[in-house]
Amino acid sequence: MTVEDVLRETKAKVRATLPPSVDLTDVEFEGALLVIYTKHPEKFADMSDTVRHLAKILQKRIIIRPDPSVLQPIDESEKKIKSILPEDVELQNIYWEPDIGEVTIEVAKPGLAIGPGGSVLNEIKRAIGWTPKIQRAPPLPSKTVQEIRGYIRQMAEERKQFLRIVGRRLHRGTSTTQKPWVRMSALGAFREVGRSCSMLQTQDSKVLIDCGVKFNQDDPETPYIHTGEVLPFESIDAVVVTHAHLDHMGLVPLLFRLGFNGPIYCTPPTRDLMTLLQVDYLKVAAANGVRPPYTSDHIRQCIKQTITLNYGDTTDISPDVRLTLYNAGHILGSSVAHFHVGDGLYNVAWTGDIKYERTWLFNPAQNRFPRLEAVIMESTYGGAQDFQPSRKTASTGVKDIVERTLKKKGSVLFPVFAVGRSQEMMIVLEYLMRTEQIPKVPVYLDGMIWEATAIHTAYPEYLNNQLRAQIFQQGENPLLSDIFQRVDSYDKRQSIIDSTEPCVVLATSGMMTGGPVMEYLKAWAPDERHALVFCGFQADGTLGRRIQRGQRDLPVSEGPRPEQTRTVRINMDVDTVDGFSGHSDRRQLMNYIANMDPRPDRIFLGHGEESKCIELASALHRKFGAETRALMNLESVRFR
Ligand SMILES: [Zn+2]
Ligand SMILES: [Zn+2]
């Protein structure tokens, strides 16, 4: 059957199911959605049971859109929206998209704007003909979120065309001449960390999972994407991004430069954080005089072609593959990607990076699935000796150091990554100050941290249960506490450095390879009242690692010539707090599998040094009797 046949048959079923009085003007696939255009959108407000029934028989998610001829004028509609919305929703913005008949209403309290059972939303729909969409306005204005939302609105028409193409590709049908088969190829981050990339392949589809970059002394390393089974890039159906770390998504825009033209699937926060970090990656490359592998145009194409999914939403991503994303507990929006192949043919999940422990920010990684035969799991701390202290022990460590330092009138400097560790440290510090376990002093955020935090505040539903309850029921978001202050200028930074008032500073970069953290270090190092506290992994070869290991002479260059370099002595306290990792330790990885339901027959390990992948594979085999393997890059596994 051709796509046209499928569409014709679908239209006939839609027509037969809906009452004859409903005027249908068009039926189209947009991505995995079936879109029905009608001159009577108001009738659908009372037909949710019929639409649900239709969705079930067609096995499709259905969207009803008004035919452009029935849309009420924008100024009149705006007045009506304002009169219908409850006053306390705190309306921020209204955006119109006439080509798809959609209006986006940005409010501070989306729950109230939707109303019980969607009642307010339905009332708006009936009054104006447009399809209203409610979106949460980020409580901290985020430049990234605003620009992405603005860009997507501006690209609405192009995006609609793109989604129609995706929809038609999805319905091209499956081959019947071959016996179905399923396999995966290991393309990067097997027996190593960095450049994560795998391919899931069937007789009818090709799906890429992650496409990361590995940073080395010299050139950044690319996954093995130029191999036969991947090529040509045009033949890839979809790319799934598990989370927004550069070792998982740093080279996704490169795929567009190479000819890929399909959709990217990820959660909404992953899309936003991914964009922030890719733009920063280009900036850093330019600053270091390195030619980056892609341009900002490729990043924009990436945004335009991203289809976001919330946790638990299931969608078709190729004629025979269905994707569901689940919480991975690692960073904001991070996900375990579960694939259902064929009609019950095979089920396999990629964990991405997982944290199987409740952290200050996230719930533990999900390990319950409807069905599962194989899993591909990370092994960063999979070695036999890789045990880490709990979050509780780690937080006590922070309390002791901050308390001790403030007591001697010193300040505390934390080198941190902008995404993840910063926000977790913010929650810990806010908690310790609110419960009066440490004195209340200003906490300065320097670097990209403020922007990354703003993105976190835009997606509170991705935080752990406790934080969600605090935010939604008590209306208190600890990330918005007034103890936090943004450092956004040279003068502000200088005034903090020169001040004699004790404070806490969170600054990038996390491994002291540059960034604003260096300015505080240079100024504060000689003073023994201050403290430098590492709370994240320090890679070999970085200044952070050398200081952690005992180096106390800090070379500071004040110009290009060697004689302009002087040495500063580090007299400040140097401390390390372990236990804040976003990765599961050995015990948590073992428990993740032990409590997995259903437990898979086959477990493949990657994303770890060679010895860790091998040690974890053999431990899991001994414990659970499952088939386990530490795959090598370029190996393939046949599932069916
Ligand atoms: Zn990660
Ligand atoms: Zn990773």
In this prediction, residue 235 has a pLDDT band, given cuts at 50, 70 and 90, of very high
In the reported structure, the alpha carbon of residue 244 is separated from the centroid of ligand 2 by a whole-number distance in angstroms of: 9
Asked if residue 163 belongs to a domain, the reply is no
Q: What is the pLDDT of residues 109-129, one digit of tens each?
A: 898 999 998 899 989 988 898
Categorize the per-residue pLDDT at 380 as very low, low, confident or very high, splitting at 50, 70 and 90: very high
Does residue 56 share a domain with residue 124? no
Are 191 and 297 in a shared domain?
yes
> Does the pLDDT of residue 559 top 80, yes or no?
no
Say what the pLDDT of residue 157 is.
87
pLDDT score of 1 more than 80: no
Domain match, 558 and 593 both:
no
Q: How many domains does the chain have?
A: 4
Question: How far apart are alpha carbons 239 and 264 in whole angstroms?
Answer: 5
**Tens-digit pLDDT profile for residues 590-614:** 999 999 999 999 999 999 999 999 9
Residues with CB under 5 A from ligand 2 (ion): 247, 353
* CATH assignment at residue 196: 3.60.15.10
> At residue 431, does pLDDT exceed 70?
yes
C-alpha of residue 56 to centroid of ligand 2, in Å: 38
**Mean pLDDT (the chain, rounded):** 94
**Cα-to-centroid distance, 54 and ligand 2 (Å):** 41
Q: Are residues 414 and 517 in the same domain?
A: yes
555 with 587, same domain: the answer is: no
CA–CA dist 219, 223 (Å, integer): 13
Say which CATH number the domain at 86 has.
Answer: 3.30.300.20
Q: Other C-beta atoms within 10 Å of 570: how many?
A: 20
Q: How much is the pLDDT for 47?
A: 84
The secondary element (H helix, E strand) that includes residue 573 is strand 573-576
Average the pLDDT over each of 22-26, 615-619, 626-630 and give the range with the smallest value. 22-26
Give the number of the ligand closest to the Cα of residue 331: 1
The predicted pLDDT at position 126 comes to 87
Tens-place pLDDT, residues 145-202 = 999 989 988 898 899 999 999 999 999 988 888 899 999 999 999 999 999 999 999 9
Residues 93 and 43 in one domain: no
Task: Judge if 63 and 75 occupy the same domain.
Answer: no
Ligand of minimum distance to the alpha carbon of 213: 2
Tell whether the model's pLDDT for residue 42 goes beyond 80.
Answer: no
312 shares a domain with 208: yes
Q: Do 260 and 284 reside in the same domain of the chain?
A: yes
CATH number assigned to the domain comprising residue 405: 3.40.50.10890
Tell me the residues surrounding ligand 1 (ion) with CB < 5 Å. Answer: 245, 353
266-301 tens-digit pLDDT: 999 999 999 999 999 999 888 888 888 999 999 999
Give Cα separations from 143 to 223, 424, 453, 556, 591 (angstroms). Answer: 31, 21, 11, 33, 40
Sign of the torsion angle spanned by Cα atoms 37, 38, 41, 43: negative
> Is 167 a domain residue?
no
The three-class DSSP label of residue 535 is: coil
Tell me, in angstroms, the distance from the centre of ligand 1 to residue 330's CA.
Answer: 7
pLDDT of residue 481: 96
Residue 146, in any domain of the structure:
no
Same-domain check for residues 205 and 305? yes
- Domain hosting 349: range is 173-385+583-638
